[in-house]
Chain A
Amino acid sequence: MINQIDLMRLVDQYRDDGIVVPTMTGSRGWNIVSSNKNRDVPLGGAMGKASSFALGVALAQPDKRVIIFDGDGSLLMNLGSLVTIADKAPKNLYHFVLENGVYAVTGGQPIPGSTKLSFAGMAKEAGYPTSFEFDDLEEFASRVAEVMNSEGPVFICVKTTPEIQNEPMGLRKPSGLKPTKTAIRDLKHDLGLWD
């Protein structure tokens, strides 16, 4: 099992001037690690759609690295996006899935198929040219250059330690995350696209 913060610190070293789309539990971790929040779009609001949103960004900005930190439950809501991404095959897209096996933000209920399915296997069979799976930080650290220098779309399943939230919603600390609407505005400003 890998702590998502440790993973993200390694990935951040390879983001260059890239755009990062985290979602759900990954958004909280990336908010601690990110070296350029003007190019982060934490995706809330449309559950499971981070991979689709990131595909759109990757196609619109083919010269920029685009990194997704997807959730396992999130990807299950939008499995068809694996096929859509593989079909368009953006060379600049790096699709991480943080597989903790549970719905962490709703109290830790197991995701369907948690003990049976292989996300890396599904991505490979959907047509991703490169698919990795890691459950050990040292191994990831030794291969992160290979991962981030592979031509996209690259799929990386990482077995992570669950960070379960089980407090009533009204008692949880504010996430401190930038709203998606604000993040999109900031990204366009930073890319010099604002009209």
Chain B
Amino acid sequence: MTQQALLSPEVVIQEFKSNGITHVVYLPDSETNWMYQLMEAEPSLDLIPVTREGESVAIAAGILAGGKKPVVLIQNTGLFESGDSIRGLALDCALPIVMLIGYRGWTRHGATPDSAARFTEPILRAWGITYYLVEHDGDANRISLAYQEADRTNMPVVVLVGDEYHGFNR
């Protein structure tokens, strides 16, 4: 059965705009693919597609060093791929990079057959990275909370985007 999208791309883009985001560093994934058309149409956002997720954190670090405000938009599988960049740049250099992570395998019921979901939160906890879960429009202001947290602590913060649209693994 097709499930209605509960997290509107318009609401997420508005969160980006209200937080002054200038650059979106991204690699398309199944959980956030509905955002791309709107992002491309938004003149305040410079989109930077990458070939592999490990690039994304390093590019975002450079954007921050240059005085602009990025968001990283990748899937949790790409979060694993980005590990050394997160460690060596975002954490060791204390950079307030906010990452929106497509939560592949998220079921809300705890049990999941997808190891991508099983490892996501334990790895974030191991890195000591604060994270928020966003599943629908009512949660979207957690993106603003993530930016506030990142700015306050000078540390990276993750927003996990729950899989409300496609309904995988239900």
Contacts and interface: CB of A to CB of B under 8 A. Distances in A.
Interface in B52-96: 52, 54-55, 57-68, 70, 84-85, 87-89, 92-95
B79 to A, nearest CB: 15
A184 B90 CA distance: 12
Interface stretch (B30-38, B43-51, B131-139): B43-51
Contacts of A88: 48
Nearest to B51: A80
A191 B89 CA distance: 20
Q: Is the interface of A mostly helix, strand, loop or mixed?
A: helix
Contacts, number: 114
Contacts of B104: none
Contact of B55 (A61, A80, A184, A193): A80
A60 B55 contact: no
A56 B67 contact: no
Nearest to A48: B54
A54 B107 CA distance: 38
Interface in A17-55: 19, 21, 41, 44-47, 49, 52-55
A143 interface: no
A164 interface: no
B55 A78 contact: yes
B88 A44 contact: yes
B77 to A, nearest CB: 16
A177 interface: no
B65 A57 contact: yes
A57 B95 CA distance: 14
Interface string B18-36: 0000110100000000000
Interface of B: 22-23, 25, 46, 48-52, 54-55, 57-68, 70, 84-85, 87-89, 92-95
